[in-house]
Amino acid sequence: MSRSVGGYRITTDFTTAGGGQCRWAFAVRDGDEYFLKEFLAPTYPIPESPGSATTKERKLRKCEKFEEHHQSVTSALAPLSKTGGNLVTTRDFFREGAKYYKVTEKVDVTSLSPRMISREPVERRILVLLTVAHSLEILHRAGLVHGDLKPENILIKETAKGYYAAKLIDFDNAFFSGRPVPPEDMVGDPNYYSPEIFGYFNGGVTGERLTTASDVFALGLVAALFLTGRGAAFESVADAGRYPGELRGAGADCSTGLRRTARADALIQRMLSADPDERPTALQVFDGLKELRTEAKRTGGWPRETESEGPSTGRRLRGKLLEAAAPEPDAPKHAASGASGEGGRLRGSLLRGRDSSSA
* Bond before 190 cis per omega within 30 degrees: no
SS3 label, residue 147:
coil
Q: Are 213 and 268 in contact (CB under 8 A)?
A: no
Lowest mean pLDDT among 38-47, 145-154, 241-250, 316-325: 316-325
**Strand order across the 8-10 sheet:** 4-5, 8-10, 22-29, 32-39, 99-105, 92-96
User: In whole angstroms, what is the distance from residue 139 CA to residue 358 CA?
Assistant: 36
Question: Looking at residue 335, what is its pLDDT?
Answer: 39
**Domains, the chain, ordered by start:** 4-105 (3.30.200.20), 114-357 (1.10.510.10)
Question: Looking at residue 92, what is its pLDDT?
Answer: 94
- Burial of 147 per CB tally in 10 Å (0-12, 13-18, 19+): buried
Entry field: residues in the chain: 359
Question: Looking at residue 304, what is its pLDDT?
Answer: 59
Q: Are 327 and 338 in contact (CB under 8 A)?
A: no
E-assigned strand segments in the chain: 4-5, 8-10, 22-29, 32-39, 92-96, 99-105, 144-145, 154-158, 164-168, 175-176, 233-234, 254-255
Q: What is the mean pLDDT of residues 220-248?
A: 93
In terms of Cα–Cα distance, which of 241, 263, 258, 259 is closest to 250?
241
Q: Provide the pLDDT confidence category of residue 84 given band limits of 50, 70 and 90.
A: low
Write down the H helix ranges in 203-238.
213-228
Half-sphere exposure of 81 (CA within 13 A, CB side): 25
Given a cut of 60, is residue 190 above it in pLDDT? yes
Question: Looking at residue 107, what is its pLDDT?
Answer: 84
User: In whole angstroms, what is the distance from residue 140 CA to residue 146 CA?
Assistant: 8
pLDDT in tens, 24-54: 999 999 999 999 999 999 999 999 999 999 9
Given a cut of 90, is residue 10 above it in pLDDT? yes
Q: What is the mean pLDDT of residues 211-234?
A: 96
Given a cut of 50, is residue 106 above it in pLDDT? yes
Question: Looking at residue 274, what is its pLDDT?
Answer: 97
Q: Are 234 and 217 in contact (CB under 8 A)?
A: no
Question: Looking at residue 62, what is its pLDDT?
Answer: 94
Q: Provide the pLDDT confidence category of residue 234 given band limits of 50, 70 and 90.
A: very high
Q: Are 118 and 228 in contact (CB under 8 A)?
A: yes
Given a cut of 80, is residue 141 above it in pLDDT? yes
User: In whole angstroms, what is the distance from residue 134 CA to residue 5 CA?
Assistant: 34
Q: Provide the pLDDT confidence category of residue 80 given band limits of 50, 70 and 90.
A: confident
User: In whole angstroms, what is the distance from residue 223 CA to residue 161 CA?
Assistant: 23
User: In whole angstroms, what is the distance from residue 340 CA to residue 248 CA?
Assistant: 22
Q: Are 319 and 238 in contact (CB under 8 A)?
A: no
User: In whole angstroms, what is the distance from residue 272 CA to residue 259 CA?
Assistant: 16
Statement: the pTM of the whole predicted model exceeds 0.75:
yes
C-alpha distance from residue 177 to each of 158, 208, 213 (Å): 32, 8, 9
pLDDT in tens, 301-342: 886 544 333 343 333 343 344 443 333 334 444 433 333 444
CB within 8 A of 81, min separation 6: which ones?
87, 88, 89
Question: Average pLDDT over the chain, rounded to whole?
Answer: 84
Q: Are 149 and 166 in contact (CB under 8 A)?
A: no
Q: Provide the pLDDT confidence category of residue 17 given band limits of 50, 70 and 90.
A: confident
Question: Looking at residue 240, what is its pLDDT?
Answer: 85
Q: What is the mean pLDDT of residues 10-33?
A: 89
